């Protein structure tokens, strides 16, 4: 698989990387429901076999469990070592309550805990998971601490997640921002207006998350499956997985299936290829719950859409947007 340089770093990443959110398992606030560790490890290995060279996780996924699963997968992998990316600023207490914490003390503890769970001496990319909700000075304190960890050799490169262009500019006054990780898909395009153009202009790498909108655009989601999502799957509380939006989203998926069928591809691959067609995007985070799912999406990194196919998707997305903004 081809690689692309991530921002100002020396990391050359494949267009699709493995997202280990679901590997955190069930029983926590933003879970995807129950998940078997063996299945997660097999999914990671299959993604690596198909050419992916990076894994994205976060300390908060499964309250540390995802990082432990990633460590096991990397330890058991016999090929070239993949890059491992993780995140900070979401801490939790003994009862599992998650709270943002932007203090230097908390971030330093989080970093040490992640290094231990991941069983690495240095983290390849360390990312601020969220900016402060109040947009306050915690942003500067956290980013200054992250930059210090880089200087100390605890982390190789530093990035941000869920920041807008103004927040990135604030961080840049303290230390260079290697990358941004925003949500971006056919169903979630807010970053196109200002944030992606700014990153492109500044040479900041962008690794988008949820390119298949948390499974909605894979082609495997159905009305019955959406209705049966377990209570500890965060998607069960998302209006996009409920009527009336669900039916309209599934109509878009039918368009993606139709395009994919012309190339022997599935809807998820088309959704990922659509994200990767944006010149601001360096890579897309692709999740998989098992090896079979990984098999179905990790070839999307080398699947270019034609201008006509992109227009076809835009037309379908446009009619969907009109429905969602109607009074």
Report the sign of the C-alpha dihedral through residues 53, 58, 63, 68, in that order.
Answer: positive
Nearest to 162 by CA among 202, 133, 138, 203: 133
Residue 140 C-alpha from the chain's centroid: 23
Kindly report each contact of residues 244-248 with a partner whose C-beta sits within 8 Å and lies 24 or more positions away, as own/partner: 245/324, 247/223, 248/320, 248/323, 248/324
Helix axis angle for 245-261 and 267-276, nearest 10°, is 90
Q: Specify whether 184 is catalytic.
A: no
The catalytic position among 30, 61, 83, 209 is 61
Separation between Cα atoms, residue 179 and residue 26, nearest integer Å: 29
Residue 13 C-alpha from the chain's centroid: 14
Separation between Cα atoms, residue 118 and residue 190, nearest integer Å: 33
DSSP string, 213-261: TTTTTSS---HHHHHT--TTBGGGG-GGGSTTHHHHHHHHHHHHHHHHH
Nearest to 57 by CA among 90, 27, 21: 21
Q: Token pair 């949820």 is at which residue? A: 210
Cα separations in angstroms, 28 against 67, 82, 94: 15, 27, 12
Q: Catalytic residues, which ones?
A: 61
């Amino acid at each position: 698989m081809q690689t692309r340089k991530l921002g100002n770093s020396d990391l050359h990443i494949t267009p699709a990387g493995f997202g280990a959110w679901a590997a955190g398992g069930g029983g926590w606030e933003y879970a995807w429901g129950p998940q078997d560790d063996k299945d997660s490890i097999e999914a990671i290995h299959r993604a690596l076999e198909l050419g992916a060279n990076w894994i994205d996780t976060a300390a908060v996924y499964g309250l540390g469990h995802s990082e432990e699963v990633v460590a096991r997968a990397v330890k058991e992998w016999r090929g070239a070592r993949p890059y491992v990316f993780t995140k900070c600023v979401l801490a939790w207490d003994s009862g599992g309550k998650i709270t943002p914490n932007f203090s230097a003390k908390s971030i330093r503890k989080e970093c040490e805990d992640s290094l231990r769970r991941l069983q690495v001496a240095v983290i390849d990319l360390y990312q601020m998971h969220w900016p402060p909700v109040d947009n306050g000075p915690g942003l500067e304190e956290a980013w200054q601490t992250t930059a210090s960890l880089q200087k100390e050799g605890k982390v190789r490169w530093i990035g941000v997640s869920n920041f807008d262009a103004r927040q990135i500019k604030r961080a840049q006054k303290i230390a260079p921002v290697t990358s941004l990780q925003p949500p971006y898909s056919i169903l979630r395009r807010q970053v196109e207006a200002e944030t992606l153009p700014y990153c492109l202009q500044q040479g900041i790498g962008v690794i988008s998350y949820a390119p298949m909108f948390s499974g909605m655009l894979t082609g495997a989601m159905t009305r019955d499956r959406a209705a049966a999502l377990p209570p500890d799957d965060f998607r069960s509380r998302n209006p996009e997985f409920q009527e009336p939006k669900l039916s309209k989203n599934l109509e878009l998926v039918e368009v993606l299936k139709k395009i994919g069928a012309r190339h022997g591809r599935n809807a998820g691959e088309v959704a990922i290829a659509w994200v990767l067609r944006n010149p601001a995007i360096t890579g897309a985070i692709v999740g998989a719950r098992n090896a079979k799912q990984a098999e179905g999406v990790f070839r999307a990194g080398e699947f270019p859409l034609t201008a006509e196919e992109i227009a076809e998707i835009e037309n379908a997305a446009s009619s969907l947007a009109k429905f969602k903004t109607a009074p």
